[in-house]
Structures are given as C-alpha cells and as structure tokens.
Amino acid sequence: MDAGPLVADPHDLELADVLALLRTGRIEVEGRLVDASNATLFCSLTGDGVQAACVYKPVAGERPLWDFPDGTLAGREVSAYLVSEALGWEVVPPTVLRDGPFGTGMVQLWVDGDPEVDLTRLIRADLAPLRRMAVFDAVINNADRKGGHLIPMPDGRVYGVDHGVSFAAEDKLRTVLWRWAGKSLPATTVETLRGLRTDFATCLAPQLAEHLTRREVRVTRMRLDRLLGSGCHPEPSGEWPAVPWPPF
C-alpha cells in the first residue's frame, strides 16, 4: 500500500493511531541533526498507509554524562511525555521507546514549528503556553530548557523537546523560562497539579517506574507536593546554574 501524506502535527491523527505508528511503523533514517550532543536522527516512519516524520535517538548514541546514569536518557524523554499527557497539557510530542535501526531508542513524532516566531522574543513573552511549560519543567526537574528546545506552532501552542536530562533526584532545574519565578501559580494550574497528585500513585508512578529509579519517581511526587505547598513558581536555588549554556 502506498504511504499517505506526511503527518507533521500529532493532531492530524487520533493519538492512539499516532502512538501505534510510532511503536510499529517502519523507520528509515534520512539524516542526522548535527547540532545535538547525542545521536539524533531524522527519520521517516511508515505504517498502515501513513507516513510521518520522527526523531529517533538510539540509546547506543547517548553521550555519557557525569550526573545521569548511562543509557537512561531515552527513558527520561518518554517519562516527560507521560507527565505531559497525565497533566493533559500536551506540551511534548507523542514519544515512545522501541527498537530501531541502531537498537532501542526514543522515537518522537516530528512537529514543524512556526518559522516566523522569533525564539529570542518568545522566551521573554508572558504567554499561557510558556507558563505551563515552566510548571511542567519544574515537575520533571528539567536541567536543560533551552530556547531552541521550544517549538512554537502556528496555532499558538508550544511544544517542548529534548528532555533527556530530566527527573534527577537532586534539584537541577535550569531553564530560560524564569519570567514567573516566585509568582503565584494560576488557579487552573493548581487544580491540574492536584489532580495529578491525587492519581500519581495509581496512574503515573507505575508508568514512570518503567524508565526511572524508585527514588526518581518518589522525588517527582515530592516536587509536586512542593509546588502545591508553596503555590508558587520555583525560584533559582543558587546552588545550580539557573540558565543552560548556551541558552539556545
């Protein structure tokens, strides 16, 4: 069967169909994103008459880091997607862990951002999607929220990518999105976080446990408790660089 048109946006298909395509579609490597520090491959993904673009990051291509266990970055990317879905914010493109041409790795749907958006201005904007992203980063303890890891869409949504250095047990939040530091969380955000905390043990924790250590799952829950207890966006700790370098 001939492949259908390129799917560049996860909303062009039902989510279940997107995830099925990511898990079982045939991956063909078309190129490499050379700016990435780890092996990051741009691929086509074909199955059931549908073709999409995706990013494939094989575990074998992960560069060892001093502060994260070897071979765990792909699972952390999947964990970030699981949190995004549990929050209902859809801030991470659909992401799975599966076998590929170079072994097990993260496979994520490719999304085409709006090329007209100036990222240097975007990161300073007071926009609800960015504020949700800032809260999301606090929950997953994102140690590398660069401006280039934000993908603004033509309809105003903003996706985040490259979450491999997240979920550390130690506080490592490092981001360009400090605009709301110390400010009260929006009421709707608090309600969403409460819902996630209520269902954490039964719904999210078992999923995260497939990719993270017990301690990392437990500390993720504790970060939720801390956010809800303070009711405010976190502020830089002073014990860890507040902004990633380079910032883009």
Per-residue pLDDT tens digits for 68-113: 999 999 999 999 999 999 999 999 999 999 999 999 999 999 999 9
Q: Report how far residue 106's alpha carbon sits from residue 136's, in angstroms, rounded to the nearest whole number.
A: 20
Average pLDDT, the chain: 93
Q: What tokens does 37 get?
A: 């520090």
Phi then psi for residue 175, to 5 deg, are -155, 160
Q: What tokens does 197 get?
A: 């905390």
Q: Report how far residue 147's alpha carbon sits from residue 176's, in angstroms, rounded to the nearest whole number.
A: 7
State the helix-helix crossing angle for 73-87 and 187-198, rounded to 10 degrees: 120
Q: Report how far residue 175's alpha carbon sits from residue 247's, in angstroms, rounded to the nearest whole number.
A: 8
Beta-carbon neighbour count of residue 246 at 10 Å?
8
User: Which of 108-112, 230-234, 240-244 has the lowest average pLDDT?
Assistant: 240-244
Q: Report how far residue 231's alpha carbon sits from residue 189's, in angstroms, rounded to the nearest whole number.
A: 10
Residues recorded for the chain? 248
In this predicted model, what pLDDT tens digit does every residue of 191-222 receive, in sequence order?
A: 999 999 999 999 999 999 999 999 999 999 99
- Angle ∠(25,26,28) on CA atoms, nearest 5: 135
User: Which of 1-5, 36-40, 155-159 has the lowest average pLDDT?
Assistant: 1-5
Omega prior to 246 cis, within 30 of 0: yes
- The SS3 assignment for 6 reads strand
- pLDDT band at residue 3, thresholds of 50, 70 and 90? very low
Q: Report how far residue 120's alpha carbon sits from residue 46's, in angstroms, rounded to the nearest whole number.
A: 35
Q: Which of 122, 129, 124 is nearest to 178 (CA)?
A: 124
Place of tokens 């491959």: 41
Q: Who wins on pLDDT, 13 or 163? A: 163
- pLDDT band at residue 49, thresholds of 50, 70 and 90? confident
- The SS3 assignment for 45 reads strand
Helix ranges, the chain (H): 15-24, 73-87, 119-122, 128-140, 187-198, 205-208, 214-230
- pLDDT band at residue 129, thresholds of 50, 70 and 90? very high
- How much of the chain, in percent, has pLDDT values that exceed 70? 95
For the whole model, what pTM was predicted?
0.94
Q: What tokens does 89 get?
A: 């914010």
- pLDDT band at residue 7, thresholds of 50, 70 and 90? low
- The SS3 assignment for 47 reads strand
Q: Which of 144, 145, 147 is nearest to 118 (CA)?
A: 147
State the helix-helix crossing angle for 73-87 and 128-140, rounded to 10 degrees: 130
User: Do residues 140 and 220 lie in contact, with contact meaning Cβ atoms separated by under 8 Å?
Assistant: yes
User: Do residues 71 and 157 lie in contact, with contact meaning Cβ atoms separated by under 8 Å?
Assistant: no
- Is residue 22 predicted with pLDDT exceeding 60? yes
In this predicted model, what pLDDT tens digit does every residue of 133-170 receive, in sequence order?
A: 999 999 999 999 999 999 999 999 999 999 999 999 99
